[in-house]
Structure 1
Amino acid sequence: MSKKNSRRSFLKKATLTSAAVTSSPFLLAASFEEKLILSRHYTAHSFSANDQINLALIGTGIQGIYDTQTALKVDGVQLVAACDLYAGRLERAKELWGASIYTTRDYRDILNRKDIDAVIIATPDHWHQKITIDALKAGKHVYCEKPMVQKPEEGQAIINAQKESGKICQIGSQGMSSLGNEKAKKLYEEGAIGDLVMLDMYNDRYSAEGAWQYPIPPDADTKTVDFDTFLGKAPKVPFEPKRFFRWRNYRDYGTGVAGDLFVHAFSTLNHVISSMGPNRALATGGLRYWKDGRDVPDVSITLYDYPQTDTHAAFNAAFRINFIAGSGGGGGFKLIGTEGEMEVGQNSVTVRRSKLSMIPHGYSMVSFTEEMQEKIRAGYDLETLEPRSSSLSTGTTTWEAERDYKGGHYDHFNNFFTAIRNKGSVIQDPTFGLRAAGAALLANDSYYKQQPVNWDPVKMKLI
């Protein structure tokens, strides 16, 4: 269905809905408000001991643990090994998943095992490319945490390695497969908000933990932490626990708020509107409060330009992160179009449609005589710029997931393991992952260069 016809279909449904929920001639002219249910049916499977997908975790830190806990909720998956460079995390892995799992500090030991089918890579960002490529070459299916790469130019090598290996590679932006994203994509394609004009995304935090000041265990030293291996391709520096346990705060190992938070929004945005991404970015910000040795900003504002394509009009996107938000914190992701706005979350979607005022009122009429004002009003009345149907299609509809919904994180892993079993496709392959990461990382390039940067979203290269 063409976008024009889709929008006509949506408007018709919206008008009928508003008429149905109102009950009097007076109310027919008012906007409506309704709530609907989002649901997903999961088919239960029973797998024998010989039909389990054997999973290993590489990087047993915060996200690695959350990823694995979610992955193991999917039928037919078992954890057999874990890898980390801090001894205490290997002990934690055995606490969580049993003393029988194999643990090691060397990820290559994991890749050399013939009984491992798939790996979760949840290491610091600067290790993503190498371990992902090594895992694919070793014949393992890969779930790699976002951002897929630390630098955009690293992405093509992963794309090529995945194609050559024939293995599944899912990039881990955990909300991608959610009911919210799924519904938002359908609504957008139906024309629920008209032509996209702007994306507004923000994430406010007000805690040390939210600003990546993670706890450092008192036993951290050169015996319990393999710091030299952690450094990898990064510059060699003396042992410093903060760099290991709070690596997100350093450009040498992480990607700042852009790679950690922007990339989620780009994954959702590009998926919902079927886009390849922006072509220009302009960033500003600074280190305003968390002056703890980090060299990445704690306040970041980036503006992106999206060019017109077959799936969307040209529009702008505003991304804002504040790690010292005295308001207490919060977040939002809102698509704003010519005919409404759509707020998207993993578990819900809200569409608000308003009536576009086309007829002038008192403010702009004040400079004309009373006689002229009457003539102007009469002229507008003849043009019928605000038909009654435009009022009937206004209002707010919220779709919410059922309480027993397993969540977007579960759905993303379910998509991954289903693709492995059925030799199918994943929702966020390396090409998609590079487009999301590349767009996000433009913010860093612009911020440190102190100038706009240009990006080719088709070739996925800086210009």
Structure 2
Amino acid sequence: MERREFVKKSGMAIAGVSVATSAMTNLNIIKNIGQTVNIGVIGTGDRGGGLIPFINEIEGIQVSACCDILPFRLENGMKQVNGKAKAYKDYRALLDDKEIDAILVAVPFSEHSKIMMDALSAGKHIYGEKTLVKGYDAVRDIIEKKKNYKNLVFQTGHQYHSSRLYTSVVEMIKDGKIGNISAFESQWNRNGNWRRPVPDPKFERLINWRMYREYSGGLTAELCSHQIDFANWVLNEIPKEVVGLGGIDYWKDGRETFDNIHLVYNYPSGVKATYTCLTSNSKDDYLIKVMGDKGTIILDYTKAWFYPEGKPDKPLGNVDGVSGATMKWQEGRGIPLEVSHEDPSKQALIDFKNSIINESEPISDLITGSKASIAVQMGLDALYTKKLVSWQSEYDDWF
């Protein structure tokens, strides 16, 4: 299939959206229709479909519509829904549905910006999966447009930003538990080709869009973006420059995005943050190390450990900032920090619902998501050009 025909058939270059009424007319005020948020899931693949069961468990929000251009993906998404939901093949029709208060965008990376811009015009609250948008211009445009829709909640789907474990750890760090931060070391390693099964070759680029640069930011956007967002959050800074190397060195299967990446970001404070993603070795899987002159905190998906400089001879009597944290040393890992928390993805959806109902700003908002998006694009530019890429002063004017 020629690229032009593929794009036309896949809907990956849909131009425009016709909204029957103005955004203010379309916008449902949640408090006037009860405390239930009706959400439409746009993109019911692995991520979008995987979030529906979490939404089913949350009081005050329900999936009322699903949309996907692939019939079998749409069918699978609809099967996940508790209760009644409408099925749409065209996201524009879903946006025209006045009963939908909010949307969850979980489509290929290249399509985020178009759908989110149209959703703002349609007066919908937005939960936009990470990485927020692809490219610098898209970041600028979505920030500028959102200024005209201050009544709409816009949350970026960096779910660890909502994790109560992660927020507790950030508080510990900012309270000085590890001292002055020296560095971040992060990895997200897997051993597999990162492909999804394709029932028919004609769906290859639609399903395995992560392998193709036109649609994807590869490992940097799909995985490292979470950890980049975390470093920005902890430091309350944005990186001033980045260098990186990567390649297609193991999976010789026609992919265009790299199968391994190695990035180093430099922050204004002098802190360096390194990110490694492999697809040919899964040792230690996902880890973030925040290293300071008084200690190190190590995070995985749902657990954390504190490793003070100079291993103590006896259990510590207190671990500041984490209520109920255990003091028992775990050999090779440090002191486990036990914080009661929900699954990060579920917590992020709870936070989204609460922000809509309470008319409050989400913790992972458009601005934090946009800064992470710029950092991701800087990393991609560094990888593809093999040059140092710097933050440009014009980006500051967008916020």
8 A Cα contact 2:56 2:81, kept in partner: no
Structure 1: 4+ residue segments shifted above 6 A:
391-395
- Determine which of 292, 308, 311 is the counterpart of 1:353: 308
Residue of structure 2 in register with 1:216 after alignment: 198
Displacement of 1:349: 2.3
2:107 partner SS: coil
Counterpart AA for 2:256: D
Counterpart AA for 1:320: T
8 A Cα contact 2:35 2:357, kept in partner: no
**1:188 pairs with 2:170:** no
8 A Cα contact 1:126 1:252, kept in partner: yes
Q: How does 1:14-163 map to 2 (within 5 A)?
A: 50-97=34-81, 100-163=84-147
Counterpart AA for 2:172: L
Counterpart AA for 2:233: H
- Determine which of 195, 204, 213 is the counterpart of 2:189: 204
Displacement of 1:111: 0.6
Displacement of 1:319: 0.5
**TM-score normalised by L of structure 1:** 0.71
Counterpart AA for 1:284: L
Residue of structure 1 in register with 2:231 after alignment: 269
Give deviations 1:73-109, integer Å, cap 9, x for gaps.
2211111111111011122123222684211211010
**1:316 pairs with 2:272:** yes
Distance 1:291 1:336 in 2: 36
Residue of structure 2 in register with 1:179 after alignment: 164
Displacement of 1:207: 2.2
Counterpart AA for 1:193: I
Larger Cα-atom Rg: 1
Moved more, 95-104 or 448-457: 95-104
Q: Which runs of 5+ in 2 are unaligned?
A: 1-30, 320-328
Q: How does 1:231-246 map to 2 (within 5 A)?
A: 240-246=202-208
Residue of structure 2 in register with 1:287 after alignment: 248
Moved more, 432-441 or 156-165: 156-165
Give deviations 1:99-140, integer Å, cap 9, x for gaps.
842112110101101100000000101111111011011110
8 A Cα contact 2:248 2:260, kept in partner: yes
1:426 partner SS: coil
8 A Cα contact 1:56 1:79, kept in partner: yes
Distance 2:115 2:192 in 1: 32
1:201 partner SS: strand
8 A Cα contact 2:286 2:300, kept in partner: no
Displacement of 1:418: 0.5
2:287 partner SS: strand
Residue of structure 2 in register with 1:416 after alignment: 352
Distance 1:68 1:165 in 2: 26
Displacement of 1:252: 0.3
8 A Cα contact 1:144 1:169, kept in partner: yes
Structure 1 residues 170 and 159, CA, compared in 2 at 3 Å: closer, same or farther? Answer: same
Counterpart AA for 1:332: L
Displacement of 1:186: 1.0
Distance 1:72 1:457 in 2: 44
- Determine which of 276, 297, 319 is the counterpart of 2:258: 297
Counterpart AA for 2:289: K
Higher relative contact order (CA 8 A, sep 6+): 1
**1:342 pairs with 2:326:** no
Counterpart AA for 2:254: G
8 A Cα contact 1:180 1:344, kept in partner: no
Displacement of 1:66: 1.6
Instruction: Report the number of matched residues.
Output: 351
Moved more, 116-125 or 90-99: 90-99
1:55 partner SS: strand
Displacement of 1:65: 0.9
Counterpart AA for 2:199: P
Structure 1 residues 460 and 300, CA, compared in 2 at 3 Å: closer, same or farther? Answer: farther
Structure 1 residues 392 and 406, CA, compared in 2 at 3 Å: closer, same or farther? Answer: closer
Moved more, 89-98 or 58-67: 89-98
Distance 1:130 1:200 in 2: 34
**1:450 pairs with 2:386:** yes
Distance 1:75 1:439 in 2: 35
**TM-score normalised by L of structure 2:** 0.82
Moved more, 69-78 or 193-202: 69-78
C-alpha RMSD over aligned residues: 2.6
Structure 1 residues 430 and 457, CA, compared in 2 at 3 Å: closer, same or farther? Answer: farther
Distance 2:317 2:120 in 1: 54
Residue of structure 2 in register with 1:398 after alignment: 336
Structure 1 residues 461 and 125, CA, compared in 2 at 3 Å: closer, same or farther? Answer: farther
2:258 partner SS: coil
8 A Cα contact 1:180 1:346, kept in partner: no
1:131 partner SS: helix
Structure 1 residues 461 and 246, CA, compared in 2 at 3 Å: closer, same or farther? Answer: farther
Identity %: 27
Counterpart AA for 1:413: L
Counterpart AA for 1:306: Y
